[in-house]
Amino acid sequence: MTNDTIMPMTPIRYAIAPLQPEAHLFAVTVTVTSPDPAGQRFFLPAWIPGSYMIRDFARHIVRIRADAGGKPVALTKLDKHSWQAALSMHRQVRSR
């Protein structure tokens, strides 16, 4: 591998806000400052390192959406725990 093939890492920001803590309901916002031009993918793990039990964290998602530049971006569910945002000409894609 040469230095020409190494991609610099871009920041991903997470914000967590309690909506109804007594119901274990939180808003989690992920902001990708340089999304993949082919369509940004978002994943949740299915298990925890050290545990061989499948946890399926994605089943707890109540609602998911994406936007770029304040406008909605279509999300496609790829499988039980991953989504892909449609192509966007904006520099940021945000999923909530």
Query: Could you read off the pLDDT of 1-17 as tens digits, one per residue?
Result: 455 666 667 788 899 99
Q: Please tell me whether the overall predicted TM-score, pTM, comes out greater than 0.95 for this model.
A: no
Per the structure, the complete domain to which residue 20 belongs is given by 3-95
pLDDT of residue 16: 92
pLDDT of residue 78: 94
Q: In Å, how far are 56, 67, 71, 79 from 75, measured between CA atoms? A: 19, 9, 13, 12
Longest alpha-carbon distance in the chain: 51
The CATH number assigned to the domain holding 11 equals: 2.60.40.3650
Q: Chain centroid to CA 86: how far?
A: 13
Question: Would the pLDDT of 74 be above 60?
Answer: yes
Q: Where are the beta strands (DSSP E) in 1-96?
A: 12-20, 25-32, 41-43, 66-68, 71-73, 75-79, 82-85, 93-95
Cα–Cα dist 22/7, whole Å: 42
Based on the structure, what is the number of domains in the chain?
1
- Kindly indicate the confidence band of residue 96, based on its pLDDT and cuts at 50, 70 and 90: very low
Output the average pLDDT for the chain: 81
What is the tens place of the pLDDT at every residue in 28-58?
Answer: 888 888 888 888 898 888 877 887 787 788 8
